[in-house]
Structure formats: structure tokens, C-alpha cells
Structure 1
């Protein structure tokens, strides 16, 4: 099953509780990189790496309960769009509560990025942000996700991945070239590395 949520909408500034995030971790621990939501310090580091204020089309892979999603929406322009792609039906339902016309909530796999983008008329996004734990994915799946990101980003676009482990660099560097930056955010549980790649004209 995949598609958009049709649930009851609530204020997009409302943050889901750590308890809701922990329940999601217990349901599907292989798809969640942490037992608690991202801290505001990590969110700010991701926002800075993404340059969201200048972006028009943004994709978030593995948004979880939507805490990061709400923060990203606060930094996007009024004519921007944010597409959340979530594999967990539980998290997808929570994301459906975000009441912001710029937000599109899709239940599906990041491996199908091209098809999902086409279905929402969002080809060639400026930024793709991933909270998916690459270290918990089979290598073949992680490689397909990284390749899909490269194939679909606009030229000059950014891929941002925030991760506890370094696996994402070993998978993505051969596909997109060496990462442009990696910043460690210690004010998060667990500490997270924020990686950034650019899609160059030669890619």
C-alpha cells in the first residue's frame, strides 16, 4: 500500500511526543535509527546543511513522527513543497496530522523515489534529506536508495543524511563522489553525523 494520508489534520507546529516515537521504534526497530526524536540542535544543523530557505522542492526520506518535518516547513518558503516518504504505516498516519498545504505525505519505499516523485509532480528536487538508518538496511537496498537520490536530484542539488554510523559514506561516496562535509552533532541522543553531498554537472 502506498499513497497520501487522508486523516484528520491538526496544527503543523504541534510536535509528536517522545512516547509516540518510542512506540514506533518498538513496532519496527529495523527502520528507526533512534529511540527518541531528533533534538532541536540536530534539526538546526540539518536545516543549515540543506539551505532550506532557498529550496523549492524538498524530499524527506524516513521522517518518523514528523518532528523534523515540522521544523523544515518552518524554514521553507510559502511556494515550496515538502514530500515526506515514510515506509512505516504507523509513522505515516502520524505524519498525516500535519496541516500544511505545502506538505505531501506518501507511504512507500525510498527505493521507488523516481515513481513517487512523478506521481506528485515533483521531479528533480533541490534537496533530499534522509533520516533512514543506512546501517540497518541490506547493502543492496542502501545502494539502490543512494543511486535513486543521485539520479533524481536536480543538478547542483543537495543530499543530506543524518546518521549515527558511518555506513552511509561508504555507500554514497562511490555513487555521488566524496561527501562535501560531515558535521558531528553531540547534542542529540545518540550523537549524529550530518553528511552533505552535491550533485555535480558530471554526475
Structure 2
């Protein structure tokens, strides 16, 4: 492992311990998970593509996205954690194709994108926040665009079993929002065993043209 990669992992683990609810993941995405999440970031020579990554963290997936960018393509990164944002600025601030937006995705007016990759820990949010974010991201897709996100395999039933009271109600409400979104928009799911922990990657596409999201 390179010194830079080791530094990224150390930062990730430190932030997970400090802001577990916001960070969500317990380790950076593996190369196999990154490959699945970027399945539809497809090069298109001669045509400008716009890509959005929400919650890039230390950039484990970003590195793969950037490697696929052509000269005319653009990549927007939305990162709420200021320490992760500082790291991303260090790594990508000199690339004119990459724009870094700090803060919550709900705080920004998004453009329109061919591909959106999302690494947010939806299971840690309130149901209304999850519904809001999905609405914004799906509405930001161009015709034929895709939204890809992941969830850890086996976690939903564990959360239902080991949470009680208000936490259980919140868990069930969030899982209901995610379930409805998948039922309506999912066209493919991949299981990635080579990740810590194993994960399901869901690929979505709007079932019909969506109006501009009003929040």
C-alpha cells in the first residue's frame, strides 16, 4: 500500500470513529466495489459527459471515475466532511474538469448528469432526508442517465432485529423509503463479496421523465 493510500485509510478510520453516523462506511470502498459503482460511467469519445459523485469520502471511487474522464467530461464532487473535502481538494484541485462542492447535497443546486454515483450512508439518515436526496438525484439525471449506490449486505435485517423504540421506527421508515425507490427505479443489483463488509450495488434509472425537483 502506498503512503498516500495509507494516509487516506488512516483519515477514513479516524473520521469513522469521530463522526460514525455521518461517515457510515467502516472502511474505504474496495476496488471491486468501486468498479461496480462506476459500472455505468462509460467513456463516450467526442461527447461531453457529466458525472456527479455524492459522498466521495477519501476518493476510493473518485480515482476510478476520474481515470475514465475524457477531455470534455466533467466531474462534480459533493462532500460534507471538511477533512475529506480538504483531501479531495489536494488530490483533484488542479484538474479543471473536477468541481468540489462542500456541504450537504441538499444545500447545492445540482446540474444535470449522465451518471451519478452515491456513497451516502442512507441507513444513518432520517426517512425524510433519504426521500429528499433520492428525489434530487433522480431529477438531476439526463435522459438515459443512471444513479448507482450501495448498501451493506445483511444489514437491513440486523438493524430491524437489534434496534428498539424510536431507533427501530426510524430504521423501518428509512428501509421503506429505500424499498419503494428500488421497486420503482432499479434495473440491476450487483453483489460485491470482495468488500468489507460485502455490499449490494443498486443501479437506478427514472421510470419516466421527472420534473425539476422542488424539494
Same-fold status (TM-score > 0.5): yes
Contact 1:63–1:131 (CA<8 Å) still a contact in 2? yes
Structure 1 gaps, min length 5: 1-13, 118-122
Find the structure with the greater CA-based Rg. Answer: 2
1:91-110 alignment, distance < 5 Å: 91-99=84-92, 100-110=95-105
- Please state how far the C-alpha of 1:202 moved relative to its aligned partner: 4.3
User: Cα deviations across residues 158-199 of structure 1 (Å, max 9, x unaligned)?
Assistant: 01011215647315236xx24101111010001111100112
Q: Secondary structure at the match of 1:76?
A: coil
Which 4+ residue blocks in structure 1 deviate beyond 3 angstroms? 165-169, 200-203
Partner in structure 2 of residue 18 of structure 1:
9
Match of 1:169 among 152, 160, 178: 178
CA distance in structure 1 between the aligned counterparts of 2:209 and 2:55, rounded to whole angstroms: 28
Partner in structure 2 of residue 180 of structure 1:
187
Partner in structure 2 of residue 75 of structure 1:
68
CA distance in structure 2 between the aligned counterparts of 1:52 and 1:30, rounded to whole angstroms: 32
Instruction: Tell me the TM-score normalised to structure 1 length.
Output: 0.81
Structure 2 gaps, min length 5: 157-174, 211-215
1:57-136 alignment, distance < 5 Å: 57-99=50-92, 100-113=95-108, 115=109, 117=110, 123-136=111-124
- Please state how far the C-alpha of 1:33 moved relative to its aligned partner: 2.5
